[in-house]
Structure 1
Amino acid sequence: MKQKRDGGVAVTGTADKQPNAQLTSWFVRSGWSKGELARQVNRRARQLGAHHVSTDTSRVRRWLDGEQPREPIPRILSELFSERFGCVVPVEDLGLRSAQQPPSGGDIDLPWAGPQTVQLINEFSRSDLMLGRRGFLGASLALSAGPALLEPMQRWLVPTAAAPRPAAAQGPGAGGGRAARLSEQELQLLESTAAMFREWDSQCGGGLRRKAVVGQLHEVTDLLQEPHPEPVARRLYRVTADLAALAGWMSYDVGLQPIAQKYLVLALHAAKEAGDRPLGAFVLSSMSRQMIHLERPDDALELIHLAQYGSRDSAGAATQSMLYALEARAYANMGQVNKCHRAVRMAEDTFCDVRAGEEPAWIDFFTEAELHAENAHSYRDLAYVAGRSPTYASLAQPEMLQAVEGFRRDDVHQRAYALNLVGMGTVQLLMRDPAQAAHYTDQAMAVAKRVRSERVNTRIRKTTHAAVRDFGDVPEVIALAERLSEELPEVAEPA
């Protein structure tokens, strides 16, 4: 056994190592050159503070030949390939060994107890505020999927014994620690602040206010570490769950996938402490959306079914309709046509029972336009799964048009407007109408300049690249590609 140096990181090599067929397969399909992969590894390493890493073409060749690098390179490669393919690519699937393998579910299999939940959110939000700007925090996390994700989340439904609270929390004069005193006005202000942040997220995207949300979340968990009467503590836990879910969603929106998942897991824990099953179901729906994005529809479906079962006696019509719509999305991505159609009908039927003012504030985003958008994306995804089927694309088209027109009149949900304009562009490509695809994508680009959302930008780029690939000689597509390169170019990392 001999030791080598991998750009300053010690690696263990053997004389009889075999070529790494798994890594080679991912590498070939990525379309990257060895030099391009080396440059991306070096850029990501600098972002993580690992300045000793200095990879080159020859080192990439050695990895493909079977050399095993030490951390942080296996995790960096996992993140790069996951982002490239839009699905979770674990270190093991690359034929690599992580020097610091966490236990299964280690980042998300957390204790279901109030004090630990508060401490974990407080510490994680503080670390995010201090280290998250350049992605360093994400280096300590790994995305979980499959049983490692689903089994810990199922414990959301398991009743837990109430943790003993300080005597002061039982009421005035009970003895013990001094109870924190929050007025009703202060509690309402905290709750309304969470609602304001949600509106900002919808208008401006996750990139503009994410740190403000994380900072507010940290402050609320500071409050929760003091003793409170039970009703006040539950309201604070509810605000904590709301803010943590929003921090997770905004992290997802800007592409920080492991950080997003951790916040959503912590939000589910806080919702359990608040005794708020519908809010917990909403958090699970956000986790499901992330799994659909990462091309894990089976996991998405399991999370939705868990949300539906856990909130079956408490969720309002809007929440139930939203869960049915996401169930349809999962079935569509699994190619389950009949089940997708049935879930779409259930979403539509249930939405008819929605009554204004009877739902919690966090579900306000689920308007009639949003329902049309979800159903349109389900049919659009079915079209892709069925080999770009024009039949399913024709079902998606009127739904997407209603979504676009609904959001056009909505000054708040600008990110959703942009996403559905892009969605309409993808539907028009499926319908073999590149001029209209370019028209809608061009409109999305105009909205994207007002919305700081990497999710929107990525979808615009993907749609434009698909249009160029299939209809590169169409004048409208040529003009769209030129505008993309001028107004929404790929962000170059510093050399």
Structure 2
Amino acid sequence: MLGLTPSTTRRRVGIGDVARIEAVTALYRSVDYEIGGGALYTDIGRFAEAASILLASADSNHATTSLAMAVADARQLAGWTAFDAGHHSDAGRHWLAAERTAVTSGNQRLAARIRYCQARQFQHLHHNQDALATIRLAKDALGRDATPALLAMLRGAEAASLAALGEHSTAVASLKQAAGHFDDINPDREPDWMRFYDRGELLAQHGRVYRDLARHDRRHADAAVTWTQDAITAFGPQNIRSTVLNTVGLCSALALADDPDRALTVGTTVIRHGRELTSRRIQDRIRNISRDISPDIRHSGLADFRHTVTRVA
């Protein structure tokens, strides 16, 4: 399949083609959860682009819509692994292709998932106004196609950007809405690709919002610790990267809560696990721990740790 070109692919597409694309995408996704996108983004990018060529060259038949959804899903994953690996231009390119395919096929639910990914990248790059605009576009476009899981996911992401922008009361209100939507989820009525959004994801957004609140008012720090610990507990053993990302958040929360000994213990674990995963995003998050540790910290171990994280490559 990786050798496909537009001049060699015009043929009738069958259900078997769709099933093969879905199976390969699912395999790549499971590996991405375990070891990070850095080990995969080149291969999954080539695979997703080849699938796109197949879609562009396929004769129109009853399987074409299913193929379009499989291709959009593959391009979404290609974008996510590129984002995780720190290749932001490639991530944006894959997500634009995925969004275009989903919208053209009339699948606003999948388009919302892709726009959520775009918003997460904007947040990582500190473009929170752009993230909010993208999230709100996703919500508005969903209309009657909205499901509780999609709304919970989007409201949680919205809360994170609002908190980062200093709109704290609105952020907490969005979190409450996210939790309410989450309680209404019926897995049998959600798209299969929304199964990633579990309680761990919801709790992680709570932890992220309360860490931002604690940076302005340390009275929120204990809540940030609790939410983040609960998120780590909720993530399954197969989702190693999310566990590590939230362990990074826990280190920050403990520093904000003025618990330097535990922050140092967790931070030491973070450094070790961060080296085991091929995720540039984790490295970026580890460096960001330094903003939550005062340069004037008198705890010698934590002071040395702060110096260490600023030099993480």
- TM-score by length of structure 1 reads 0.58
1:400 and 2:231 aligned: no
After superposition, give the CA deviation of every residue in 1:335-383 in whole Å (9 maximum; x if it has no partner).
1122111110111011011223432232222110110001110121233
Deviation (angstroms), 1:311: 1.2
Pick from 167, 174, 189: which aligns with 2:20? 189
The aligned residue for residue 276 of structure 1 is 107
Q: 2:145 aligns to what SS in structure 1? A: coil
- Which of the residues 22, 44, 55 maps onto 1:224? 55
Distance 1:464 1:298, change over 3 A: closer
Shift of 1:446: 3.0
Distance in 2, matches of 1:203 and 1:379, equals 27
Partner of 2:244: 418
Aligned-partner Cα distance in 2 for 1:331–1:418: 24
- Are 1:324 and 2:155 an aligned pair? yes
- Contact 2:13/2:64 (8 A) holds in 1: no
> Which residue of 72, 83, 86 maps to 1:252?
83
Q: 2:191 aligns with which of 353, 357, 360?
A: 360
Retained in 2: the 8 A contact 1:195–1:361? no
Instruction: Call closer, same or farther: CA 1:207–1:392 in 2, change over 3 Å.
Output: same
Deviations 1:137-160 (A, max 9, x none): xxxxxxxxxxxxxxxxxxxxxxxx
Q: Give the deviation of 1:401 after TM superposition.
A: 1.1
Cα drift, residue 477 of structure 1: 5.2
1:417-453: CA deviation from partner (whole Å, max 9, x where unpaired): 0110000111111111121111222222232233110
Counterpart residue type for residue 172 of structure 2:
H
Q: For 2:67 and 2:226, how far apart are their aligned partners in 1? A: 43
2:204 counterpart of 1:378: no
* Aligned mates of 1:257, 1:472 — CA distance in 2: 38
Question: Per the alignment, do residues 276 and 230 of structure 1 end up closer, same or farther by CA in structure 2, a change over 3 Å counting?
Answer: farther
TM-score, normalized by length of structure 2? 0.89
Q: Establish whether residue 296 from structure 1 lines up as the match of residue 127 from structure 2.
A: yes
Q: Please state which structure has a larger fraction of its residues in helix.
A: 2
2:286–2:312 contact (8 Å) kept in structure 1: no
- Match 2:255 to one of 406, 426, 429: 429
Structure 1 residue 475: deviation in Å? 3.1
Question: Relative to structure 2, which stretch is displaced further, 430-439 or 391-400?
Answer: 391-400
SS in 1 for 2:204: helix
> 1:390 aligned to 2:221?
no
The alignment status of 1:369 with 2:185, answered yes or no, reads no
Partner of residue 461, structure 1: 287
Cα distance change, pair 381–218 in 1 and its aligned pair in 2 (3 A):
same
What letter corresponds to residue 232 of structure 1 in structure 2?
Answer: A
> 1:202 maps to which residue?
33
Q: Which runs of 5+ in 2 are unaligned?
A: none
Cα RMSD after superposing both structures: 2.5
Aligned partner of 1:335 in structure 2 is 166
Would you say how many aligned residue pairs link Structure 1 and Structure 2?
Answer: 308
RCO greater where, 1 or 2, for CA within 8 Å and sep 6 or more?
2
